[in-house]
Amino acid sequence: MAAAMWRAPNDPTIYGSVDVEATALLAFLERHREAHPEARATVAHLVAAALARTLARHPEVNARVRLWGRLELREDVVITMQVASDNGRDLGMVRIPGAHRLALDAISEKVRRQAGEVRREDEKYELAKSRSMLKRMPWWLMRSVLDATDLITNELDIEVRSQGLLRDTFGSAMVTNVGVFGVDTAFAPFTPIARCPIIVLVTEVKQRPWVVGDEVVPRPVLRLCATFDHRIIDGAHAGKLGADIRQLLEETPEVLATAE
């Protein structure tokens, strides 16, 4: 029955998670908010900054698959963050080019500004025209339009900004904050037309048992859950990325407050 029921696998997706002891990063964010109340930096912004700098240290995973199988390294680290819109019924996307060179406040400001544009359906939002077109699209035409968009922006690497079609739209990695919904463990699927090899879900920081020396003590823990494209990232790559991000967030989160 199993042999007859299941089809041969062809999905390159792999999953992994890392627990970050969050005492230092929460203390840093509290100090940072007191010193810069206008910035309103969050845990998700901090994770995006740490992920961007980690990708810059490992350029071999900042890649995409093009032309039906060609592996191509990116020249820039572009992080995209998902933002809720239309009272939670829709998602918008904030693109952060050069994220590995930006300070935490610059990232949080860019996210806040573009999130506002998404929710207001502001014409200044760089993806406004393509979002508007897709919202008006009849269901029977949607697949063909998305296939054409994939061909133009990914395979042919063409940008048509006048129509809100950006080259390599989804960037190097996507970050989504599900902790605001009280979620403490979750994984996200890849969007078929996206060519980013990493999706990171930022979950709720909560008290968990943590081993300190020979004792088990309660500590605030941030669980980062990631989806990887196995065509680009294998277990060794994923392990190095997780270890570097954890070290940044646990030991030196303050370095993310300054631009590189």
Structure confidence by residue, pLDDT tens digits, 187-217: 998 887 888 899 999 999 999 999 998 999 9
Q: Of 83 and 80, which is predicted with more confidence?
A: 80
HEC profile for the chain? Answer: CHHHHCCCCCCCEEEEEEEEECHHHHHHHHHHHHHCCCCCCCHHHHHHHHHHHHHHHCHHHCEEEECCCEEEECCCCCEEEEEEECCCCEEEEEEECCHHHCCHHHHHHHHHHHHHHHHHCCCCCCCHHHHHHHHHCCHHHHHHHHHHHHHHHHHCCCCEHHHCECCCCCCCEEEEECHHHCCCCCCCCCCCCCCCCEEEEECCCEEEEEEECCEEEEEEEEEEEEEEECCCCCHHHHHHHHHHHHHHHHHCHHHHHCCC
Hey, what are 146's tokens? 């998305």
- Look over the chain and give the mean of its residue pLDDT values, rounded to a whole number: 87
Query: What's the CATH number for 12-84+94-105+168-257?
Result: 3.30.559.10
Band of the pLDDT at 108, cuts 50, 70, 90?
very high
pLDDT band at 85 (very low <50, low <70, confident <90, very high): low
Domain boundaries, given as residue ranges, for the chain: 12-84+94-105+168-257
CA distance 179 to 203: 4
Six-digit token pair at 69? 């199988």
**Number of other CB atoms surrounding residue 214 within 10 Å:** 5
pLDDT in tens, 160-188: 777 777 888 888 999 999 988 888 899 99
What's the pTM? 0.90
Nearest by Cα to 96 from 114, 73, 70, 74: 114
Question: What is the pLDDT at residue 223?
Answer: 96
**Per-residue model confidence (pLDDT) at position 145:** 84
- pLDDT interval class at 69 (50, 70, 90): confident
CA 248 to chain centre: 17
